[in-house]
Structure 1
Amino acid sequence: MTNRRIGVDLGRTAVRVAEVDGAPGKRPRLLRFGEQPLPPAAVERAQVLDPRRVAAAVRRACRTAGVRAREAVLGVAGEHTIVRPVTMPAASREQMRASLPFLVQESLPVPVADCVLDFYPVRGDGERVEGLLVAVPDAATAAAVEAVEQAGLRVVGVDLAAFALVRAVVPRGGEHAVTAVVDVGADGVQIVVAEHGVPQLVRFGGVAGTALVAELARLLGVDVDAAEQALRDERVLHGDLAPVVAAHAERMATIVAETLAFHAQGGNRPVEAVLLTGRGAGLPGLGQYLASFARVPVSLPRPDGVFAVEGRAARACEGSLPVWAVAAGLASGGGAA
């Protein structure tokens, strides 16, 4: 039985794949990483709308990265994914999962029959277990699974992207007991707080990178592709567009800081450090605003903080923003069927 799996991260603007060897008892090895752009409207709000085009991008990403494994774990995220705290009577993991539909059927905004449910235990006292309920509408995963399997992979699990982020960037036994991972994407900001590597809180904020790009396109009188390029141009960012970018970064940092404060106000240990991931992690001013508002150090993670990174993967990740995190974390965790 192989220990190699592929994590597949389907974003709004790109597909990312990572191959990881997760042999038990050993440090996981990040073997390969690849990324391919997606055409407009193929994925919107974390939902696959065009499986054929997404499948083509997944195939290209796997081919250019040189991945060899065929078993894949698919990530789910976005505002349609429900993650909330739940307390259950202590039982086996299988028994708790089986009782979820009866426990939460009155509290979900969508029918239980139309969702995939899971329970992630956080802590217990022998009689009751506190944890996180994860509910994902079937419709949000069916088209994604179809696309990945059309690409020639076999989906063996579906996992929450937030959990994958923690596995990928929070080292076991690290210097900080409580870490927040903030993934900045085109559709919004995903925030997960973990204590000793165990997720405690997951939130999704709707301040999207696409909103900033659309505003820049309007101001410059160009299409979104040209606006994306302008966002990477330091000369432009120090000119008339700088206040627009700064205002967006400040709004995003405010949402994250308020979420971290909410977590601490609930009697939890406060966050001691923040790690920024995703393509938007390089947004000018975001790290500085967040460090100021939350009063904690903010930094970008490195793949070798958690993984032993092979040469090909190291070259693919070198010098880039931490866009590999979700895909690598999915591949190292195995996912939940």
Structure 2
Amino acid sequence: MAQKVVTLYLDDTSLRLLVTDGKRIKKWADVPLEPGMVKNAVILKQEEVAAKIKQLFKVRKINTKKIILGVSGLHCLTRPILLPQLPKDMLEEAIRREAKRILPVSPEQLYLQWQSIPAPEGKLQVFLVAITRTAADALFSTLRLAGLKPDLMDLKPMLLARMIKDTMAIMVDVQPTEFDIVVMAGGIPQPVRTVPFPNEAPAWPEKISLIKEDVSRTIEFYNTNNPETPLAATLPVWTSGELANEAEQCQVLSDGLNRPVLPLPSPFESPDGLDPNRYMANMGLVLKKMSPSNGTGLSVNSLNLLPTVYQPEPISLTRVLAVPGAVIAVSLLLFLALMTQSTSTDITETQNQLNTTNQLLQQKMAQRQQYIDAMAELEQKVTNAETSGGNFAAAVSNLEVRSEKVNGNLEVTVNSLPETVSLTSISHTSNALTIKGQAPSEADFLSYLRELEASERFSSITITNLRITAQDNIDFSVILGVGG
């Protein structure tokens, strides 16, 4: 079954939506943002931007709340960090100390994410990305107002680097208010620069002059710091965004840099009416979700820049099963303790009485018959104690059977969930399983019920509550019959 991916890219001037089903582009849209809504990658008017997002999803008939998110690289910092070999429990502290030393902004003002990358022998290397908390908090507050739940995030420069199959590359992406420069060497994007234009709408000659100067400085900086692996003079500059559609300006830049300047090829077949250069960041998000390491020269291929505090907390089957499992385990242990104590007491008392009887037999042979009867009675008690032990084993077996049944019911309930449906509570009794949750539509809810019915584990399915929320979602409550 093809994987549906909903991507959203946001910068100072626009929202760009791209939806794919497998490798096919199904929907796309580009919504401009009025000046002042977003400035320097910080959302200033959260409610207005959230309203734009909600309207966009409504018009394009997109019901899912889960998205993959891309943002501008403006005011974001990237660094490869080389460290000595360290134990795992010391790594985070070492990275934060090094970040405090090398970054121009205090780590307390940043969200830090990192991924291990290849390192020289005896060393440890990570690729660090830092995002300002001010910009990130405003962004996720806006998405919450829009009812969206991102589960993956990346920067546009990193997404463009994902498009390149070679491990050595130069990339330039030009947008209305900024441009990105990425130099990738050995699969590591460094340096990465996002440069704002000095005014909102410069003419192409001014843009090309600025881009040429910055690209030249970036290449010179890299070659100076990496004399053993300089960028070859024949290495092309790959372009995307507005520049990729301007063949004449590409030639001017090529003449100025003395390098080929080529448009970055699209990884997907473009439907009629779609300008792929406008949606390269979205396409990079799709590739990141579908195949993080397939067909790319980028080493930093599985880094999720979504800050930990904003990452979703999915329902865990282990956590769901832990509650009934713990109850059964505690009950079993309590039952075992009581039975063991009772049996041990009976056996001890019986043994004491047998010892007394033997002594009396030696002393009073004349009363032999009387004590034989007493011994028979005591032996019966031993038999009863052994029978109690058998009953205990049967009880344990019965508890194990019921535990397996409960676990099976819960596993089917959770594994049958469609991607769009979420559960808020689960409770289990001896003959019923009650689930409550939320679905974006009646069709998704009914699809879930059909999956439960098809499992043939439940004797009945009863809908006890079904209502539409203010966000047009459906809250539901269902009782599943599970037999005696």
Scaled by the length of structure 1, the TM-score of the pair is 0.73
Residue 231 of structure 2 corresponds to residue 270 of structure 1: yes
CA deviation map 1:233-290 (0-9, x unaligned):
xxxxxxxxxxx64233222222123212322332234161222122354467531232
Change over 3 Å in CA distance of 1:129–1:301 after alignment to 2: same
Q: Show the counterpart of 2:98.
A: 103
- In structure 1, the residue corresponding to 2:118 is in which secondary structure? strand
Structure 2: distance between partners of 1:81 and 1:129: 23
Q: Per the alignment, do residues 270 and 39 of structure 1 end up closer, same or farther by CA in structure 2, a change over 3 Å counting?
A: same
Shift of residue 197, structure 1, vs aligned partner = 5.2
Counterpart residue type for residue 277 of structure 2: P
Question: 1-side partners of 2:151 and 2:104: how far apart?
Answer: 28
Asked if 2 retains the 8 angstrom alpha-carbon contact of 1:122 and 1:199, the reply is: no
Going from structure 1 to structure 2, the CA distance change for 1:290 and 1:258 (only over 3 Å counts) comes to farther
CA distance in 1, matches of 2:286, 2:198: 26
The answer (yes or no) to whether the contact 1:13–1:39 under 8 Å persists in 2 is: yes
Residue of structure 1 in register with 2:277 after alignment: 322
Query: Does the 8 Å CA contact 2:158/2:189 hold for their aligned counterparts?
Result: yes
Preserved contact between residue 75 and residue 326 of structure 1 (Cα < 8 Å): yes
Deviations 1:131-186 (A, max 9, x none): 4321111111111122223223211133222111222x32x3xxx55222211123
For the pair shown, the structure with the greater C-alpha radius of gyration is 2
2:10 is matched with 10
Q: Which amino acid aligns with 1:6?
A: V
Contact kept? 1:185, 1:208, Cα under 8 Å: no
1:155 alignment counterpart = 150
Q: Aligned partners of 1:92, 1:298: CA distance in 2, in Å?
A: 45
1:207 equivalent to 2:216? Answer no
Amino acid at match of 2:108: A
Match of 2:217 in 1: 258
Q: Does 1:39 align with 2:34?
A: yes
Q: Which amino acid aligns with 2:305?
A: A
Alignment-derived partner of residue 288 in structure 1? 251
Query: Which moved further from structure 2: 148-157 or 10-19?
Result: 148-157
Q: CA deviation at 1:295?
A: 2.4
**Cα distance per residue 1:91-141 (max 9 Å; x no partner):** 699974554222222333333122110224443124223443211111111
Letter in 1 for 2:130: A
| Equivalent residue, structure 2, for 1:184 | 174
Q: For residue 174 of structure 2, what is the amino acid of its counterpart?
A: V
Instruction: Give the letter aligned to residue 332 of structure 1.
Output: L
Q: Does structure 2 retain, via aligned residues, the 8 Å contact 1:162–1:192?
A: yes
Distance 1:2 1:68, change over 3 A: farther
Q: 1:1-337 alignment to 2 at 5 Å?
A: 3-20=3-20, 28-67=23-62, 69-90=64-85, 96-97=91-92, 99-167=94-162, 169-170=163-164, 172=165, 177-195=167-185, 198-207=188-197, 210-212=200-202, 245-267=204-226, 268-270=229-231, 272-282=235-245, 285-303=248-266, 306-307=267-268, 309=269, 314-317=271-274, 320=275, 322-334=277-289, 335-337=304-306
- Whole-angstrom CA distance in 2 between matches of 1:68 and 1:208: 39
3-state DSSP class of the match of 2:101?
Answer: coil
Read off the aligned partner of 2:271 and give its amino acid letter.
A
Q: Distance in 2 between matches of 1:64 and 1:94?
A: 48
Counterpart amino acid of 2:241? G
Letter in 2 for 1:80: H
Secondary structure of the 2:176 match is coil
Q: Residues 67 and 150 of structure 2 are in contact (CA less than 8 Å); yes or no, is this contact kept in structure 1?
A: yes
CA RMSD in angstroms comes to 3.1
1:4–1:149 distance in 2 versus 1, CA, 3 Å: farther
Q: Which has the higher contact order (CA 8 A, sep 6+)?
A: 1
Asked if the contact 2:10–2:72 (Cα under 8 Å) also holds between the matched residues in 1, the reply is: no
Unaligned runs of 5+ in 1: 23-27, 213-243
Specify the SS of the correspondent of 1:315: coil
Aligned residues: 288
Q: Closer, same or farther in 2 for the Cα pair 1:36/1:202, shift >3 Å? A: same
> Equivalent residue of 2:28, what SS?
strand
**Alpha-carbon spacing, 1:295–1:40, altered in 2? closer, same or farther (3 Å):** same
Query: Which moved further from structure 2: 87-96 or 255-264?
Result: 87-96
Identity of aligned residues (%): 23
Cα distance in 1 for partners of 2:187, 2:273 equals 26
Q: Distance in 1 between matches of 2:129 and 2:209?
A: 30
Instruction: Determine the C-alpha separation between the residues in 1 that align with 2:90 and 2:242.
Output: 39
Which runs of 5 or more residues in structure 2 are unaligned?
290-303, 307-484
CA displacement at 1:30 relative to structure 2: 4.1
Instruction: Report the Cα distance in structure 2 between the residues aligned to 1:93 and 1:273, rounded to whole angstroms.
Output: 40
- Whole-angstrom CA distance in 1 between matches of 2:3 and 2:184: 26
SS class of match (1:166)? helix
CA contact (8 A) 1:249 1:283 kept: no
CA distance in 1, matches of 2:191, 2:52: 32
Matches of 1:280 and 1:103, distance apart in 2: 37
Structure 2 residue matching 1:182: 3-state secondary structure: strand
Return the offset for 1:297: 1.7
**1:77 to partner: Cα distance:** 3.0
